[in-house]
Each structure stands twice: as structure tokens, then as C-alpha cells.
């Protein structure tokens, strides 16, 4: 017996087939292998309200969020260990889910067990054909950190100016440079440069090593470029050391402005 499939049925079959192909991509973090079917269940429970049914960043909560939720269909990610323009590694997506995106509506999902997070990575990858057609580049190599000295900080301050970091982040790193109000992300939404003096953790991790990595890779989808062509590794470490002093200023100022303690009451007369 021959079964006829109409146009609607053919379209549904093609969508199903495409999904199966996407789900068939291996996702691995350490010794854990992702299960995209279970990841879909987790996504619909925890992620769909912001990122949307189709992973395009248009969930019900999206209009109220700034910055906007990630559009997974583009396969473009800020936080990566791979060079600018490359897909992220599975471990990069896994780390982002666990860490969250600081200074955004994306929380840390550490309460989810590691297997759940790997399953989510497998499903999130299914939204973009890039993961089917491309392979991520190898992770960038991060050299050992150079000494954090006053001279390094001074050199970093000079590089912060000469590489025009100040034009977005401001002379004092407050995110209020002359270009700040004109910046948009890759989808045309306004985007605010990071205020280094805010005391908040950086978007992709707060260690010196993670800050160095961000200078190497850039934050794809944003105006933040890679500096691998304009700075040598030791110069990037100098910039990291300088930025670290900016992020400490708020705490130092708070300590300076703490009102003096009230004098202790006099001891009662004997």
C-alpha cells in the first residue's frame, strides 16, 4: 500500500528530519555526553520564557530584558575560548550556563546537575545550522601571567588609551566614553559598555585569566573586538592589571567614605 503525504505533511517530516540531524550531533563535556531530547525538556521548563520557543531570543520576557536574550539561531556567542568568529566549544556553553551572564537577566544555573547542563548544551546547539556545518576552532592559548607590578599597571593604562578602549569604556573605565551612547549589538539593539568601576563581575568570568581570554577572543555579537592583532600577550596582561585597578576603585572609595565609628560610651564613675 502506498501512502501519500501532502505538502503540510512533507514540511512536518522535513522539520522532524532536520531536528533529528541536529540532535544527532555529539555534545561532550569531559566524560559526559549530551542528550538533546532531555535538553529540550529542560529548555522548555527553564529557558523558553526568555529565549523563545525557536531559540531566537523572542520569549515572553524578552521585551522587558536589557540586554536582550541570546538568539541561538545565529550561533554567535560572547563567551568563548575560541578565536573571534569561531563557534564556541561545548565546554564554553556549559560554563556559561553554570556561571550565568553577569550584568544581564541570565542567571547562574549551577543548581542543575552537570548532566542536565550538558543536555541543555546539546539542545541549544540544535537551533543553529552552524553547529551542523562547522567545527569550532581550537581554544586560544593563554600564556602565563606576567608580574602585576606598578610598571605593568602604568603600561596597561597607556595601552587602554592608545587602543581607544576609553572611547567606549571611558577615561576612568565607567562605561561612559564618547562612543558609548552610539553602540549596538549585532541585531541592532543598544548595548552599554561595561563599567569597570561598578564592582560587578565581568560577563564571562572574573579571573585575570578569563579577562585576558576576552581580550584575545573579543565578545562576538558586540562591538568588543579581539586585540590579538593590536597587542602582544604581555601587553594584554598589562591591560588586565590596569583594568583590575579600576574594578577595585569602588571598594577603595567606599572604604575611604565609611563614616567614623561612634565614640565608645564613657565608663561609669566608680
Domain containing residue 108: CATH number:
1.10.760.10
Is 14 within the bounds of a domain? no
Could you read off the pLDDT of 37-82 as tens digits, one per residue? 999 999 999 999 999 999 999 999 999 999 999 999 999 999 999 9
Higher pLDDT, 92 or 19: 92
Residue whose grid cell is 541561538: 72
Looking at the structure, tell me whether residues 157 and 207 fall in a common domain: yes
Looking at the structure, tell me whether residues 85 and 171 fall in a common domain: no
Is 142 within the bounds of a domain? no
Q: Which domain holds residue 240?
A: 150-254
Looking at the structure, tell me whether residues 76 and 170 fall in a common domain: no
Looking at the structure, tell me whether residues 31 and 88 fall in a common domain: yes
Alpha-carbon gap, residue 226 to 236, rounded angstroms: 11
End-to-end CA distance of the chain: 110
Last residue of a domain, one of 101, 133, 165: 133
How confident is the model at residue 97, as a pLDDT? Answer: 97
Could you read off the pLDDT of 186-224 as tens digits, one per residue? 999 999 999 999 888 888 998 999 999 999 999 999 999
pTM over 0.85: no
pLDDT at residue 9 greater than cutoff 50: no
Alpha-carbon gap, residue 239 to 229, rounded angstroms: 15
Least confident residue range of 27-36, 188-197, 259-268: 259-268
Alpha-carbon gap, residue 166 to 225, rounded angstroms: 14
Last residue of a domain, one of 105, 133, 161: 133
Looking at the structure, tell me whether residues 119 and 178 fall in a common domain: no
> What's the whole-number average pLDDT of the chain?
87
pLDDT at residue 20 greater than cutoff 80: no
Alpha-carbon gap, residue 168 to 251, rounded angstroms: 23
Alpha-carbon gap, residue 24 to 4, rounded angstroms: 28
Is 114 within the bounds of a domain? yes
Span 239-267, average pLDDT? 60
Looking at the structure, tell me whether residues 124 and 217 fall in a common domain: no
Looking at the structure, tell me whether residues 39 and 82 fall in a common domain: yes
Looking at the structure, tell me whether residues 31 and 126 fall in a common domain: yes
Is 5 within the bounds of a domain? no
Looking at the structure, tell me whether residues 40 and 105 fall in a common domain: yes
Is 107 within the bounds of a domain? yes
Span 148-175, average pLDDT? 97
C-alpha of 37 from chain center: 25
Higher pLDDT, 260 or 100: 100
Is 263 within the bounds of a domain? no
Number of domains in the chain: 2
Amino acid at each position: 500500500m502506498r501512502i501519500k503525504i501532502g505538502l503540510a505533511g512533507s514540511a512536518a517530516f522535513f522539520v522532524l528530519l532536520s531536528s533529528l540531524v541536529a540532535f544527532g550531533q555529539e555534545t561532550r563535556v569531559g566524560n559526559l555526553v549530551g542528550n538533546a531530547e532531555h535538553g529540550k525538556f529542560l529548555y522548555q521548563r527553564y529557558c523558553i520564557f526568555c529565549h523563545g520557543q525557536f531559540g531566537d531570543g523572542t520569549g515572553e520576557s524578552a521585551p522587558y530584558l536589557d540586554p536582550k536574550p541570546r538568539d541561538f539561531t545565529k550561533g554567535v556567542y560572547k563567551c568563548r575560548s575560541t578565536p573571534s568568529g569561531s563557534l564556541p566549544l561545548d565546554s564554553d556553553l556549559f560554563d556559561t550556563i553554570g556561571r550565568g551572564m553577569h550584568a544581564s537577566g541570565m542567571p547562574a544555573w549551577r543548581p542543575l546537575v552537570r548532566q542536565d547542563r550538558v543536555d541543555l548544551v546539546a539542545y541549544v546547539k540544535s537551533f543553529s545550522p552552524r553547529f551542523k556545518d562547522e567545527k569550532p576552532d581550537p581554544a586560544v592559548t593563554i600564556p602565563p601571567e606576567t608580574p602585576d607590578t606598578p610598571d605593568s599597571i602604568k603600561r596597561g593604562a597607556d595601552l587602554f588609551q592608545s587602543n581607544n578602549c576609553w572611547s567606549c569604556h571611558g577615561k576612568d573605565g565607567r562605561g561612559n566614553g564618547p562612543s558609548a551612547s552610539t553602540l549596538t549589538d549585532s541585531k541592532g539593539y543598544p548595548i552599554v559598555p561595561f563599567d569597570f568601576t561598578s564592582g560587578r563581575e565581568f560577563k564571562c568570568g572574573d579571573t585575570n585569566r578569563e579577562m585576558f581570554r576576552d581580550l584575545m577572543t573579543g565578545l562576538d555579537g558586540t562591538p568588543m573586538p579581539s586585540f590579538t592583532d593590536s597587542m602582544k600577550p604581555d601587553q594584554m596582561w598589562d591591560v588586565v592589571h590596569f583594568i583590575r585597578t579600576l574594578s577595585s576603585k569602588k571598594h577603595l572609595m567606599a572604604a575611604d567614605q565609611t563614616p567614623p565609628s561612634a565614640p565608645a560610651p564613657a565608663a561609669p564613675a566608680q
